[in-house]
Chain A
Amino acid sequence: MSRWVLSGLKTGIKTTHYPAQQEIHAGVSPGLPVTGSAEGRTAEICPTAALTSSEGRIEVNYRRCIHCFRCVRSAESAPLDWQQGYEWAARAADRPALETGAFGRSLNVLVVDAGDCGACLSEIAQLTNPYYNIHRLGFFITPTPRNADVLLVVGPATDQMRAALKKAYDAMPEPRRVVAAGVCALSGGIFGPSLVSGAGAADVVPVDVEVPGCPPPPLAILHGLLVAVERKPSAFLSSPSAPANPVEAAP
């Protein structure tokens, strides 16, 4: 016990400074492809059809990209540009804006696993560890929709989870926000649409904020929550529609 306290004191505070400062440590994010030349078979080698070529340039659909690095490492194509950031979350344009101060100074998040593979969940679990520690921002994970402000959906909304997802959303009080995290929740990802799942959470509940990534790193999910409460600006879900927060990070 005393050793635990002492070693803790010796280690000091290691919590990330995001969102006050950008996180610059290596490995906090796998990064996403940005754009590049459409020479060769670049668009065809993408396993999830996230890349399309238009006017000689590659356009990336982040709703589908699982950052598999194939487009970067394949010998058959010119390597795409890659960005190491994590501020990927984008607010859906068709959803109404939030009233100022609607959630007060704290935010309760209900996580619904709508049939995910476990990767997104494990990233969400990281959010409450000492490194990311979302409690310092007033964000809390809650087990019940009755006092939840944000519904954080992961997974492609399988048929078995549709009713539960809808019920959880219906049980939440207004004002409420839905954050869909991971490409499965955005487009069905590598699972859907299929015979057992739909094409993402938007089929069931109105999604306010979309967080791409497969899985999105904890900081991307945190960015999603910050976007949901309008404490961070939104990013874009396709490239090169706009620069997707290029952050200079260590390689």
Chain B
Amino acid sequence: MILSGALLILFFALCFTGIALAVVLPQRHGSFALAVVASLAAAAITGLGGIVLLSGNSFQCPLWTIPELGTLSLSIDRLSALFLVSAGAVFLAASVFSNAYMQRYVGHYSLRSFSILYYALLLSVTLVLITGDVLAFLIAWEAMAILSYLLVNYEHEREKNIYAGWLMLALSEMGTMAAAFSLLLLANHAHSMSFAGFRGAFHDFGPGMRWAIFLLSFFGFGVKAGLVPFSVWLPRAHPAATANISAVLSGVILNLGLYGIVRVNLDFLPISLPGPGLVVLIVGSVSALIGILYATVENDLKTMLAHSSIENMGLITAALGAGFVFAVDGHTVIASIAFVAALYQMTNHSLYKSLLFLGAGTVDMRAGQRNMDKLGGLMKFMPWTALFLLVGALAISALPPFNGFVSEWLILQSLLRSVELNSIAIGTVFAFCAAALALTAGLVITCFTKAFSMIFLGLPRSPQVEEASEATPSMTVPMGVLAVLCLVLGVAPTWVIPVLDGALAPYAVSGATQALVPPFLNPATPGLPPDFVHDFHDLGAQIGAGIVPASGLVVLHRGGARNPVVFAMSTAYMLVVLVLLLAIVFAVVRFWLARGRTAVRRPLWAGGIQQLRPEMTYTATGYSSPVSVIFNAILHPGAAPETREVIYEHFRTEIRRGDREESHILDRLIFTPLAQGAMAIGNLCAKMHNGKLNTYVTYVLIVLLAVLLIR
């Protein structure tokens, strides 16, 4: 408790020191000071979150009382501590990365204002997570929203960025209003502005009120989390933002939306109807599918990553929705597994997405290009960045032994447990959502093999790429640390799951640890059926018993008495087997097949052409073309609006094509009709004003009559 308080004070002190330094120091030292102080501050909140998360002692601290509005307070429980740790880790990496990265803006944009806004964002994000009452939460939330808008709009001289910023701000404000409304409804009923007063205060709510608060809060926080259909700001904001802010945006700000959803629907007003849970599940699945479809066909690296963030948020939300439905249906253990899977995916997404965004920034900075059709062959010039981005791509593609595999596997497994549900209708929805998520998981691999291969393999497709060089250590080291974290979270799920379960302990009705991470067993373990222990032994969970302390290396769902082990896997063993297999293959090739032979390097064979030009090689557009053809109905890549042939003396010398007009499915189905409807109503209203005095006199008369009649 004392250590937590000290760390919190240290954090605030560091932030204000940083702001003071940014004001005082000359601009050329600005980025170094930013990197040092902000990373220390981020380390402080990571430490603070870590202490609370691991010790389980929540931190409470009343600040000051405002008459009429109650007491402002700080409160860190394990759930907020989990979000705090992942936010701190992302901020830590992004801050170190800023040192070299922000140099590119020196002399053009004010580094001073960037630093001040960055510290303010760090402060407001932390406050959103640690405030314990509605008023402070809303103030921090609003500050966070505006600061993230200002930071996204940092390169404000580009017209596109201004539009992206406005869109982001407008949607964010809409969401904030809805979220504020739902929180105030809760506060009104609980007669308390403090979150502590919310708990257990709403037993007498009817379904109408529950639906209203669910819809308002889900919309409000869902906008921030980038869920369909209000995800449209995300793919526009990311390309506008600088790389470190993109990392923070995807790794931290989106999580805050999830934090809101989890807080309201798990903590304040636990969902007790299957409907809201299904809404969450469906919105999540649709977000995941739409996100990944657009990510796969997108060629701008950062826009692609933004679409992929929508996909990941969709996955997390779908898992949360499945958890809500399971909890309502009475399957508390499976619900806990789904919640653990969602939080696991959330943590993983923070890590690998910030890694990928930092990598994208490095590529953008060093090769001067984000378009995958123009990059290529960067592995030769930037080996470390390539390695770390490869790790990020493998992790996000959910390939073992990296962290994405564990969480996506758990999400899909928990969705497949829909066989336990009592209602066939709900089971059908689950089946469709599980199919959508499985399709998503497949497309992610297409998407990220494309990204990695088009950027790092093959031939350089533009002259700047050939001049690229490896980034400085202050840019590669943060990426390396994040890559290592991706591996650690991937091979040690049995250590991570109890921590996540602990974060959920007060809310989920039953713990998942007991069902997912069994301790080492022997046939004599009391309280377990011998059959189960026997099965468990067959899985090899006792192999590390003498070496590894506490829990085993196998994640498994014990299931019921009828079917003891429902699913099981172990990424740690997978890693061992993978390494062994690679070593065996290497040994066989090296010492047996290649015995007495020498490897000879021959020039690249490209069909005997004079010179292999980059234009002849596979492009990113070509790679994703099958996907865009199959999903043509959704992606709808508009045909060229105009094709003109240039005919010169009977010969067609040229075909001129207009640019392809692509419209996002959400724009096409939702926002364009909405805008058109609003315009139509506006035009109808405009007809009232025809400029004739007689008409206006008539209006006055009608109003007068109406008032008299109503009276």
Contact = CB atoms under 8 A, between A and B. Distances in A.
B608 A163 contact: yes
Interface stretch (A100-108, A164-172, A180-188, A191-199): A164-172
Contacts of A163: 608, 610
Given A173-B600, A174-B600, A144 B609 contact: no
Contact of B605 (A112, A146, A165): A146
Contact of A171 (B602, B609, B610): B602
A174 B599 CA distance: 11
A167 B600 contact: no
A213 interface: no
Contacts of B600: 173-174
Nearest to B608: A164
Interface in B574-616: 600, 602-603, 605, 607-610
A144 B605 contact: yes
A174 B600 CA distance: 9
A165 B608 CA distance: 7
Contacts of B609: 164
B29 to A, nearest CB: 55
Contacts of A174: 600
Contacts of B603: 167, 170-171
A207 B607 CA distance: 21
A155 interface: no
Contacts of B610: 163-164
A218 interface: no
Interface string B603-631: 10101111000000000000000000000
A40 B609 CA distance: 50
Contacts of A168: 605, 608
A217 interface: no
A145 interface: yes
B interface, by DSSP: helix, strand, loop or mixed? loop
Contacts of B607: 164
Contacts of A146: 605
Nearest to A168: B608
Contacts of B602: 170-173
Contacts of A173: 600, 602
A174 B610 CA distance: 23
Nearest to A112: B608
A interface, by DSSP: helix, strand, loop or mixed? helix
Contacts of A112: 608
Contacts of B605: 144-146, 167-168, 171
A40 B491 CA distance: 92
Interface residues of B, number: 8
A145 B610 CA distance: 16
Contacts of A172: 602
A72 B602 CA distance: 49
A13 B600 CA distance: 44
Most buried by A among B600, B603, B608, B609: B608
A171 B605 CA distance: 6
A198 to B, nearest CB: 16
A72 to B, nearest CB: 40
Contacts of A167: 603, 605, 608
A169 B602 CA distance: 10
B601 to A, nearest CB: 11
B574 to A, nearest CB: 33
A183 to B, nearest CB: 23
Nearest to B605: A171
A145 B603 CA distance: 11
A172 B608 CA distance: 12
Contacts of B608: 112, 163-165, 167-168
A186 to B, nearest CB: 21
A108 to B, nearest CB: 14
A145 B606 CA distance: 10
Nearest to A165: B608
Contacts of A170: 602-603
A112 B607 CA distance: 10
Nearest to B602: A171
B493 to A, nearest CB: 42
Interface in A124-167: 144-146, 163-165, 167
Contacts of A165: 608
A25 B377 CA distance: 58
A168 B605 CA distance: 7
A85 B30 CA distance: 89
A170 B600 CA distance: 11
A146 B609 CA distance: 15
Nearest to B607: A164
Contacts of A144: 605
A155 B607 CA distance: 17
B12 to A, nearest CB: 64
A94 B167 CA distance: 78
Interface in A2-38: none
A159 to B, nearest CB: 12
A112 B603 CA distance: 18
A146 B602 CA distance: 9
Nearest to B609: A164
A1 B377 CA distance: 50
A164 B600 CA distance: 20
A172 B602 CA distance: 8
Nearest to A143: B607
B524 to A, nearest CB: 59
A168 B610 CA distance: 12
Most buried by B among A146, A165, A171, A174: A171
A191 B389 CA distance: 55
Given A112-B608, A144-B605, A173-B602, 9 more contacts: A163-B608, A164-B607, A164-B608, A164-B609, A164-B610, A165-B608, A167-B603, A167-B605, A171-B602
16 contacts: A112-B608, A144-B605, A163-B608, A164-B607, A164-B608, A164-B609, A167-B608, A168-B608, A170-B602, A170-B603, A171-B603, A171-B605, A172-B602, A173-B600, A173-B602, A174-B600
Interface of A: 112, 144-146, 163-165, 167-168, 170-174
Q: 3 tightest CB-CB pairs across the interface, nearest first? A: A164-B608, A171-B605, A167-B608
